[in-house]
Amino acid sequence: MTYTSYLYFFGFAIIVYVMYLLFPIKHRWKVLLAGSCLFSIILDGFLSLCLFVTAFSSYFCALQLTKMQDDFNSAKKGLSKDEKKELKNKVTKQKKTVVAAAVIISLGILIVLKYTNFFLGTINGISAFFRAGFEIPLVGFVLPLGISYYTLQAIGYVVDTYRGKYRAETNPAKLLLFVSFFPQMTEGPIGRYDKLMPQLEQGHRYNNEDFTAGITLIFWGLFKKLVISDRASYIATDVFSDYNKYGSFVIILAMICYTIQLYTDFSGCIDIMSGTARIFGIRLEPNFRQPFFSKSVGEFWRRWHITLGTWFKDYVFYPVSLSKPFMKLSKASQNHMSKFMASIVPSSCALFVVWLGTGLWHGADIKYVLYGLYYFLIMILGTLFEPVFVKMFSKSKIDRRGRLMNSWAVLRTLLLVNMGMTMFKANTIGDFGAIIWRSFTNFSMNDLMYGTLFERGTDRHDFVVIAIGVIIMFIVAVLKEKGRDPLKSVSTGRIYIKWPVMIGLILAVLVLGAFGPHYGVVDNIYAQF
């Protein structure tokens, strides 16, 4: 049941919404819970057990953490300063054990299911290299959909409770709802308890503005996914699976198409989900902010899959940076290195861990590890050469913040990101190298000149639709960047703007969407992680 299927809309979402409105406000969250559990069971079958284990282990651990903190607060009264300190250290240690237990359970399920074959494959590879003469058979685990998202969400919740950011949830059913909330279960955005839970447990009345905004967002997401992404997917899949047949022109076109496909697929799906949540009166965290207007790769990652970036920042980067070995490293580098290097080295090491994690999160493959490290390398090189750039610009008197340089920065980021996306799509890292090599060396325009370009599953009509779609997306993005969200104006604007836009959007999806007897279902890329 994908988010774009009839089954999801007509057999699930509408029914859950009607039930939601029929229930008394106080109990409406229970409808969401039942819907989310059902959704998980339909998608994952008995594998949805993983979700329940993660949710309940997080619930118990967080509850324990709050209890420990309460006990400490009441016990510390009347104690001397030293005794307080001693007790605090003891409690902190105990709390750390509890957090570790929660993380080991949730992350353990994810690691076993997702990475076992990667580890075994690596061991087999090493064994083959040294001719050790043994090979461990691979296992046939199936990954439940959404596990990479809800695991992070649950860990975030437990760690925040440990940090005392909020008290633990006392109702296990409510926590289960927080972890499993169906619009964000399979592709995120990765939500935070303090922002999401109050919205989930509070029943929402029907609200015209929310409803209109939700429907508009759903159709905008469907437009991105069905009209643009699924059309672009055919040429990208065809060329990447057999790149040896094609010259540079088609390969570069396929690379661009894949970037378009990935962005419209992921952000389209997030829009559909945010729209669905919005109809229920719930606002999900934004996951994208016009990423292709970024002037650097670092900025790109702050605008693309935002909730993953902030999750890694809060729960990996900070803890790693503040851990004892890193503090030692920081001190050592301050003592033995130049001021500039001392400021870079410790944070780079922490960033390395973050990007290794980000890469691995995307998939259990050496390709994804290198994908993460590719961005890490670009950022580190950028930081290292920053003083050189500063000198260069001040000497040449070129205005670094001028329009020309800004445009160049955007274009450069686009090229680097496009390269990263190619690595992401290529079957192996060897294929990635070969694709890039061919795109530079095998110059050929034959496919364009003889019209065979249009025989790759994406015909000339599709290209026109993709182009128009991208132009519309570009205009919307420019307006959003300027602080005027056209989608918001649709839901709040006057009828003569609102209706034509909404009807136009609905009809565009119905007529131009790549669905029907002659189209296969293109699975959401980010739901597979």
Partner 1 sequence: MKNKDSENINKAEEKNISEETKKETDEMNENDEGLSGTENKPEKKRSKAFVYAGKFFRGLCFFLILALLLPILTYMFHPKNNTVEDGMKDQNAHGFYAEPANTIDTVIIGNSEAYSSFSPLEMWHSHGMTSYVSAQGAILMSEAYYILKEILKNQTPSVVVFETDVLFPLKSDDTLRDRTLNNVMENEMPLFKYHDNWKIFKMGQFFAPIKYTWQSFSRGQMVDPSTVPLETPELRLEDGKNEEYKNGVISPYIMMYLNKFVDLCREKNIELILVTIPNTLTSSKENHEAVHKYAEEKHIPHIDFGTHPEYANIDWTMDTRDGGVHLNTFGAKKISDYLGNYIKDHYDIPDRRNNKVLAKRWNNDYKKYQGYIRYKLKALEE
Binding site for partner 1 (CB under 8 A): 1, 5-7, 10-11, 195, 205, 207-210, 283, 286, 289, 298-299, 302, 306, 309-310, 313, 317, 459, 461, 495, 499, 502-503, 506-507, 510-513, 515-519, 521
- Find all residues with CB under 8 Å of 145, minimum gap 6, and list them: 43, 44, 185, 186, 527
How would you write 88-157 as a 3-class SS string?
Answer: HHHHHHHHHHHHHHHHHHHHHHHHHHHHHHHHHHHHHHHHHHCCCCCCCCCCCCCCCCCHHHHHHHHHHH
CB of 212 to partner 1, least distance (A): 9
Nearer to partner 1, 64 or 458 (CB): 458
Nearer to partner 1, 11 or 125 (CB): 11
Do 32 and 20 touch, CB atoms closer than 8 A? yes
Preceding peptide of 189 cis, ω within 30°: yes
CB neighbours of residue 255 within 10 Å: 22
CB of 516 to partner 1, least distance (A): 6
CB of 258 to partner 1, least distance (A): 23
Q: Tokens in use for 492?
A: 């709040």
CB of 308 to partner 1, least distance (A): 12
Q: Tokens in use for 315?
A: 């729960």
Do 127 and 135 touch, CB atoms closer than 8 A? yes
CB of 21 to partner 1, least distance (A): 14
Nearer to partner 1, 5 or 452 (CB): 5
Do 422 and 432 touch, CB atoms closer than 8 A? yes
Do 50 and 144 touch, CB atoms closer than 8 A? yes
Nearer to partner 1, 133 or 140 (CB): 140
Do 165 and 138 touch, CB atoms closer than 8 A? no
CB of 211 to partner 1, least distance (A): 9
Among left, alpha and beta (phi > 0; psi -120 to 50; other), residue 451 is left
Nearer to partner 1, 196 or 239 (CB): 196
CB of 318 to partner 1, least distance (A): 9
CB of 524 to partner 1, least distance (A): 14
Nearer to partner 1, 21 or 120 (CB): 21
Nearer to partner 1, 116 or 310 (CB): 310
Q: Tell me which amino acid residue 203 is.
A: G
Half-sphere exposure of 435 (CA within 13 A, CB side): 28
CB of 353 to partner 1, least distance (A): 15
Nearer to partner 1, 231 or 425 (CB): 231
Do 327 and 345 touch, CB atoms closer than 8 A? no
Nearer to partner 1, 94 or 310 (CB): 310
CB of 295 to partner 1, least distance (A): 12
How would you write 340-407 as a 3-class SS string?
Answer: HHHHHHHHHHHHHHHHHHHHHHHCCCHHHHHHHHHHHHHHHHHHHHHHHHHHHHHHHCCCCCCHHHHH
Nearer to partner 1, 382 or 402 (CB): 382
Nearer to partner 1, 234 or 246 (CB): 234
* DSSP state letter for 9: I
CB of 208 to partner 1, least distance (A): 6
User: In 3D, which of 525, 453, 498, 455 has the Cα closest to residue 224?
Assistant: 525
Measured CA distances, 338 to 265, 303, 308, 344, 345 (Å): 46, 33, 33, 10, 10
CB of 122 to partner 1, least distance (A): 30
Cα separation, 432 vs 321, in Å, equals 33
Nearer to partner 1, 52 or 211 (CB): 211
Cα separation, 412 vs 401, in Å, equals 15
Do 27 and 205 touch, CB atoms closer than 8 A? no
